[in-house]
Structure 1
Amino acid sequence: MTAAKQSKSYLYDSSLWGDKDVSSGKAAKDENFPVGSLLISRQLRPHVQAYYDFARVIDDIADAETLSSEEKINRLNAMETVVCKDVPAPDRADVLTARYLYNSFIETGVPVDTATDLLIAFRQDAVKNRYETMDELMQYCCYSANPVGRFLLHLHKEGPDTFPASDALCTSLQILNHLQDCKTDLIKLDRCYIPLELMKKYNVKVEDLLAPQMSFSLRKVFHVLLDHVDVLNREAEFLPRLTQDRRLRLEAAVIVYLAKFLAQRLRNEDPLAADVKLSKKNVLYSVLKSFRYFM
């Protein structure tokens, strides 16, 4: 068998792709901070949508309750092959997201590692469900969240001076999301991103996340993590000032404000008792306050 035939056989192997799409049913409207905002220029929105669709599919693969860890890894590896190379692949909606993003990278020159770094995180999700230290969590965020911001910056031709503030914002959003979903993640996926070392310090057990309401000790753990988020958000405040594209600058400013609002809500509300979400008032205020960056 030739190398070309081996490659084609590999990509069509049903043990790698499975026989159907794996979808959570989530859409952009379900996210706190949808990537494909109307603030992005119309010309670039198709590329942002291609990236979002790919990220949604690989996230769904990593979170699929019906797939084994090995099946998840196989599918994620196959998706990486398609997003990196012009190779044959099944003509199916989930797989085509990788093909569309490959074409987008060719057209825009955005580095492919903004996609492959996400795959590193989602492979980790397939096999790892606990985080011992804060350093482990931050390393995970480097791959699960920061590539999203860097994709947008590369797409808008922004300079590397914007990367540190963008990374801080994306990591902040990821930690906030973990705190929002801590109970759901444990119930559905047996996954806990809150560092075990930190919980042990305050005599908190993973099972405490299943309680109907938050204990005083768990609230302390949340405050420590939210203090860290506050530091990240202060660093993220530099992003709108460094961003050259006006529309992206406005988008960044809005998201920084929203991250601060969500952090405050998580300090005052209990995600074990009820969903903690941004309000329409939070969103309106963030947009109005951010218009000074559009000038």
Structure 2
Amino acid sequence: MSRRSLLGLIVLAAVLAVTPFLVPNSYYLDIVIRMAINAVIVLSLNLLVGYAGQISLGHAGFVGIGAYASAVLPTHFGWHPLPALAAGALAAGVLALLVARPILRLKGHYLAMATLGLGIIINIVIRNEAAWTGGPDGMPVPSMGLFGFDLMSDRQWYWVVAAVLLLGVWGALNLIDSPFGRALRGLHGSEIASQVVGIDVPRFKTTIFVLSAVVASIMGSILAHYVGFVTPDVANFFHSIELVTMVVVGGMASVFGSVLGAVLLTALPQALATFEGWEIVVFGAILMLCMIFLPRGLVPTLAARLRLEN
């Protein structure tokens, strides 16, 4: 890990440590918790999209698998939440492994359409299996138990998701500085050149796709337990697009950009609620301006400009 990355990790840890003492009430703490959950999901997606160059428009499907595993298994089969979370992550990983080879052979918009189709299939299954999932109305999720007590208060959940976010950022920073991360950046630049230097391109693409799916599933389970209720919207197409937008706005191939993108786009709809029906228009205009003036995303563009000024 570079000195700059270590400094960024320390700053993030400091911000996470003081945030719960600065937010004025539970409403804002709830938004901060959702920011942290989204940040980990976006971080995993950025490893796939930003570093490996493999677009995914169905990532919310893996979030849905984790969320519904944590709802269905404890409710219908009496599982403890932690094994249910692990089972959801395993199911997402196995599904990603099974579809990775055929899907990741595709490129460009063909790959985008294939991943979109995968996400839509997962969403349709969740909606249609109403006897198990509650159908379009969703279903309640039991509380999460850790070390003999249930996580109930927002403050308890904050420290859990803050620790997960910090661990996720630390892991991603080490991953991208490892030989594996360098291989990912290589195949993003040119798959043919990567094959020439001996990189097993299909294996690396499959591995990062499975890893990204597993992390998304785990965070889907955490989100479901935190909210206490889950609906098929967690796995729909619009949620997938929202996640990709967070990657793009924060910065492709940027760990801290993933965090910033998730923070901004989780908070922005709440901030625009006062526009009474025009919030979607304003939201779209803000995104459009970001893409015009910050085409590489917020963090990479600002970092490049600061380097030029220095």
User: TM-score, length-normalised on structure 1?
Assistant: 0.33
State the TM-score, normalized to the length of structure 2.
0.32
Identify which of structures 1 and 2 has the higher relative contact order when contacts are C-alpha pairs closer than 8 Å and 6+ apart.
Answer: 2
